[in-house]
Amino acid sequence: MTARPLIGVSTYLESGARWGVWELEAALLPAGYPRLVQRAGGLAAMLPPDAPEHAAATVARLDGLVIAGGPDVEPARYGAVRDPRTGPPAHARDVWELALIEAALAARVPLLGICRGMQLLNVALGGTLVQHIEGHCDVPGVFGRHPVRPVPGTLYAAVVPEEISVPAHHHQAVDRLGADLTVSAYAPDGTAEAVELPPARGWVLGVQWHPEMDEDMRVMRALTRAAATAPAGARS
């Protein structure tokens, strides 16, 4: 790979972030995300929340897009009443990331959704979420591990053909699949752990776990390779 593709990664705004003598609002992204992009051969660009009408112009400058993990998706976005165990809404982030997803799908920019990103991809395509499951988020702030089994014949299985143990921390999951999505990996309890669109829709994959917290770079490498074949300047 001679040219390193530019991979945008969505971020979020947090008030009260502290460093040195400062305590200010900050655009945050766990360092594992840009590090994984860089290790996989890409250039990482942070995408803090912006007005949704700027999403298409933002995506047009990217070779690939990652929608990062984070807070629960607002249930009203998939027509559900909020469960008491669902976290507080992140309205600005929902709006911005949904606009990024829609722009990436329209422009056929390679897209990887991670945890919340996979859930939001499902919602963007008309799917719904299970608002609480047990066993995937046992200790707050600590990533657990569990096995993930690929579905033969899928994009994900072509990237990771064997069962692997993955780092995970989530309490929500895909319920009804969005339009054209298929499940391409499962946890032992039947939870959908990866979803994808058919190749005719471009390179689009969502994973429920956190590859940025692992040494296995195959998923991110697959994204950067797909991104490298369609540089931003060559897209119409």
Q: Give me the active site residues, please.
A: 115, 210, 212
- The C-alpha atoms of residue 113 and residue 100 are separated, in whole angstroms, by 11
Q: Where are the alpha helices (DSSP H) in 16-90?
A: 32-39, 55-60
Contacts of 151 (CB under 8 A, 6+ apart): 157, 182, 183, 184, 185, 186
Neighbours of 51 (CB within 10 A): 10
Strands (E), 20-120: 22-28, 43-47, 64-67, 111-114
Handedness of CA 134, 32, 106, 51 (dihedral sign): positive
Neighbours of 166 (CB within 10 A): 25
